[in-house]
């Protein structure tokens, strides 16, 4: 089960962020403001 941040605007208290690890960039309708989207590239052998 993933850990998902609460959807709120309490900027004065520490919170977690949604972190997405993917092999592609997000589409415009994916993710939310404040999410961290990490894109990796798979290396080919040989």
pLDDT digits (tens, 9 = 90+) for 3-33: 778 777 877 878 888 888 999 999 999 888 8
Domain span at residue 40 reads 1-46
Q: What is the separation, in whole angstroms, between the first and last Cα of the chain? A: 36
User: What is the number of alpha carbons within 13 Å of residue 33 lying toward its C-beta?
Assistant: 4
CA dihedral 26, 33, 21, 23 (to 10 degrees): 10
pLDDT (0 to 100) of residue 12: 84
pLDDT (0 to 100) of residue 2: 66
Residue 1 has pLDDT above 70, yes or no: no
pTM: 0.62
Exposure string over 8-40, b if 16+ CB within 10 A, otherwise e: eeeeeeeeeeeeeeeeeeeeeeeeeeeeeeeee
Looking at the structure of the chain, the number of domains it has is: 1
């Amino acid at each position: 089960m993933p850990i998902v941040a609460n959807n709120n605007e309490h900027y004065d208290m520490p919170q977690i962020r949604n972190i997405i690890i993917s092999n592609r960039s997000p589409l415009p309708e994916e993710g939310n403001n404040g999410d961290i989207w990490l894109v990796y590239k798979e290396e080919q052998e040989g």
